[in-house]
Amino acid sequence: MTIPQEQFDDLLGRAALAALFYYPEVAVDDDGRKLQNDIAYCLEPVAGIANEDAERLRVVVGRVITNPTAHRSELLALVIELAPPPAE
C-alpha cells in the first residue's frame, strides 16, 4: 500500500506540534500524557504503512519529539525514503 505524500506531511506537522508541546516532566509524571501517546498520534496519518517502516518511524518520531534539533533531519530523510515521489 502506498501512503500519499499528504499523509506524510501530516505526520511531519504532528511531530512538530508534539515536539513543541513536549515537557519531559509531564511525560514522566502524568499518566494521561505519555511520549508513546504522542508518537501514536503522530503516526495516525500513515497507519497503513508496513510494520517494519512503522517501527522505524516510531523510533525516529520519538527522538524528534524529545530533541527536535538533533533528529529532525533523520525524520525528514526517512519520510523522503518512504513517501512516493511527488507528482509532476
Tens-place pLDDT, residues 42-58: 999 999 999 999 999 99
Higher pLDDT, 27 or 74: 74
pTM, entire model:
0.86
Cβ-proximal residues to 71 (8 Å cutoff; 6+ apart), any chain: 60, 63, 64
pLDDT over 70 (residue 4): yes
Report the C-alpha gap between 24 and 21 in whole angstroms: 10
Give residue 31's pLDDT.
58
Q: What's the rounded mean pLDDT across residues 48-70?
A: 96
* Cβ partners under 8 Å of residue 19, min gap 6: 64, 65, 66, 68
Q: Does 13 score more than 90 pLDDT?
A: yes
15 pLDDT tier (thresholds 50, 70, 90): very high
The rounded distance, in Å, linking the Cα atoms of 27 and 34 is 5
- Range from 7-21, 28-42, 54-68 carrying the lowest mean pLDDT: 28-42
